[in-house]
Amino acid sequence: NSYGGLADQLASADDDTKSRCCRICLEADHPEDLIAPCRCKGGSKWVHRSCLDLWRTVERDRAFATCTECQFPYRYEKQPECGSDGRILFCLLVSRDLCLVTAAIQS
């Protein structure tokens, strides 16, 4: 019965969705924010974009351009230029993240 194989695949995909958790913060909240940016499998596959961005700034030399687990080079998409309001918000968010990283390192 070919439907059995399809049902197994769908059940497996559903289990994968339910078991997703960020490999950096180990939290499963906001699963819709999880991405798979490289070729890692299993528990290392999923990561929150914000966690990955923070990790890349802290581990700049090793993790900025490639995954430290599978060595897959990250692909970058150039974001369209935004107006001055967007730049101000971006600068504020980057400043906030840098303050958080500095506080985490010092504590």
What pLDDT does residue 39 have? Answer: 93
pLDDT, one tens digit per residue, over 90-107 is: 888 989 999 999 898 887
**Which carries the bigger pLDDT value, residue 26 or residue 78?**
26
CATH numeric code, 2-76: 3.30.40.10
Q: Calculate the average pLDDT of the chain.
A: 78
Nearest CA among 86, 13, 97 for reference residue 50: 97
Q: Which of 20-24, 51-55, 59-63, 72-76 has the lowest mean pLDDT?
A: 59-63
pTM, 2 dp: 0.54
- Please report which helix (H) or strand (E) contains residue 64, including its range: none
